[in-house]
C-alpha cells in the first residue's frame, strides 16, 4: 500500500528512530507515540493504516492498547517486543495482532512484514465474497463475525482467521503449518501444534456435534479440511 501511514509505539526513542528511518526509506508516512494512552489518542485522531506496537509501555500495557484498538477498528497491528515466549506470542495473536516480532530484530525484516500485512489486508478488502455460508453457519468477512443458526458466536481473532482460511478453499486439505501461514502470513513453527487447540474450540462453537464434526474434519497424516458439500 503506497504511502501508507504507520504508527510506531515504543518508549525507547532509539528504536522509534530506527524503525522510522527504515519505514520512511520504504515510502511510508510515520507517526510515533511513547506510551499507550498517547498511542490510542493518535490512532483515533489520525487513523493509521497499521500500528507497530511494543508491549512494555508506560501508562498502559501494550496488550491493553491492542485490545482497545481491535475493539474500535480493524487497523492491523504488529507487536514488537522482547517477550519471546510461546505464551506471550499466543496471547498477542489471540488479541488480534496480525504479526509478532521479537527484539532484537532486523529493521529490514520488520519493514518486509509491514509490507506483507498491508498487502494481505488490502487483498482481503478488495477480493472475494462478503460472506460464506455452510450448513447453519455464516462467516461474514465484512463484519468479521460468525453466526450459527442466526446467532452470533464469540470466536477469537485466531479462530476466525483459521476458519476464514479454510472456507475460502473448501475441500482442500491443509497442514497445520499451512493454516498458520494462511492465517498470519508467516511461518510460526513454534505455534504449529496450537492449531489443534484452536480448531477444537472452534468445533465446540459451530459444530452440531463437536465430537463428530461435520464441517471441520481431520485429514489423517495431513491436517484439516472444511467439507465442501455445504459451502455456498
pLDDT in tens, 149-193: 999 998 887 788 889 889 988 899 999 888 887 776 655 555 667
Measured distance CA(181)–CA(56) in Å, rounded: 27
96: closest CA among 8, 142, 156?
156
Do 9 and 114 sit in the same domain of this protein?
A: yes
Q: How many domains does the chain have?
A: 2
CA–chain centroid gap for 193, Å, is: 17
User: For residue 210, what are the domain limits?
Assistant: 156-226
Residue 148 lies in a domain: no
From 108, 126, 144, the end of a domain falls on 126
In the predicted model, is pLDDT for residue 85 greater than 80? no
Tell me the pLDDT tens digit for each residue of 20-60.
999 999 999 999 999 999 999 999 999 999 999 998 898 88
pLDDT category at 195 given cuts 50, 70, 90 is: confident
The rounded percent of the chain whose pLDDT value lies above 90 is 45
pTM: 0.69
- Sort 45 into a burial class: Cβ within 10 Å, 0-12 / 13-18 / 19+: exposed
Q: Residue 92 in 3-state DSSP?
A: helix
Residue 61 lies in a domain: yes
Do 93 and 47 sit in the same domain of this protein?
A: yes
Amino acid at each position: 500500500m503506497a504511502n501508507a501511514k504507520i504508527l510506531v509505539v515504543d518508549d525507547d526513542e532509539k528504536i522509534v528512530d530506527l524503525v522510522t528511518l527504515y519505514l520512511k526509506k520504504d515510502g511510508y508516512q510515520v507517526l510515533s507515540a511513547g506510551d499507550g494512552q498517547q498511542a490510542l489518542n493518535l490512532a483515533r485522531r489520525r487513523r493509521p493504516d497499521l500500528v507497530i506496537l511494543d508491549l512494555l509501555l508506560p501508562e498502559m500495557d501494550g496488550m491493553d492498547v491492542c485490545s482497545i484498538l481491535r475493539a474500535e477498528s480493524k487497523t492491523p497491528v504488529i507487536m514488537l517486543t522482547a517477550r519471546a515466549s510461546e505464551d506471550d506470542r499466543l496471547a498477542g495473536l489471540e488479541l488480534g495482532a496480525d504479526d509478532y516480532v521479537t527484539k532484537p530484530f532486523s529493521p529490514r525484516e520488520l519493514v518486509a512484514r509491514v509490507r506483507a500485512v498491508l498487502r494481505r489486508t488490502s487483498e482481503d478488502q478488495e477480493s472475494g465474497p462478503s460472506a460464506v455460508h455452510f450448513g447453519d453457519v455464516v462467516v461474514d468477512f465484512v463484519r468479521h463475525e460468525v453466526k450459527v443458526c442466526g446467532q452470533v458466536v464469540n470466536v477469537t481473532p485466531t479462530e476466525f482467521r483459521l476458519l476464514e482460511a479454510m472456507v475460502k478453499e473448501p475441500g482442500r486439505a491443509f497442514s497445520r503449518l499451512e493454516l498458520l501461514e494462511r492465517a498470519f502470513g508467516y511461518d510460526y513453527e513454534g505455534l504449529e501444534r496450537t492449531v489443534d487447540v484452536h480448531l477444537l474450540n472452534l468445533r465446540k462453537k459451530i459444530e452440531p456435534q463437536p465430537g463428530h464434526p461435520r464441517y471441520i474434519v481431520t485429514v489423517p497424516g495431513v491436517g484439516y479440511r472444511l467439507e465442501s458439500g455445504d459451502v455456498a
